[in-house]
Amino acid sequence: MKKLQITLGTLLLLIFAGAACNVIAQEKVQPAHESFVYNAEDQVTVEGTVQEVRDYKCPVTGTVGSHITVKTLAGALEVHLAPAAFLKDNEMVFHAGDQVKLVGAKIQFEGKPALLAKTATVGHTTFTFRDAKGNPIW
């Protein structure tokens, strides 16, 4: 009888431990990766002044991406350009204070309006990030 109680106790302990591990594992699951697709129907042309240039791990490109914040008449706009390595390899440089004309698709990023850049023109130089259909060229 004593052996049966020990066996049942051990079995219950294993069941509870397994259930606890399952709950802990579920809590660590990352939220679903949001997909950012270039939609030509959402394409706009925007002009403004570059306020900030930043590279960071970006969910849009899945790499360290280059971004600019542009001050427009409608407010600040986060612009996703391309992977930082693509800009570096192609000697594409942006500076705070640059006047820029952008063509890109509007998206919502972290609850705010943003833009997936297709082209960016600074002065007489146009940088291209996506082909005519909006597919990345990097």
Domain boundaries, the chain: 1-30, 40-128
**What pairing do the DSSP bridges indicate for beta strands 75-83 and 64-72?**
antiparallel
Mean pLDDT of 90-95: 97
Percent of the chain's residues with pLDDT above 90: 69
Helix ranges (DSSP H) in the chain: 2-27, 84-89
3-state secondary structure of 5: helix
Of 8-17, 81-90, 114-123, 124-133, the range with the lowest mean pLDDT is 8-17
**Segment 20-74, tens digit of pLDDT:** 445 444 443 333 345 689 999 999 999 999 999 999 999 888 899 999 999 999 9
pLDDT score of 7 more than 60 = no
CATH of domain 40-128: 2.40.50.140
Enter the pTM of the model.
0.75
**Cα–Cα distance measured from residue 34 to residue 124, given in angstroms and rounded to the nearest whole number:** 35
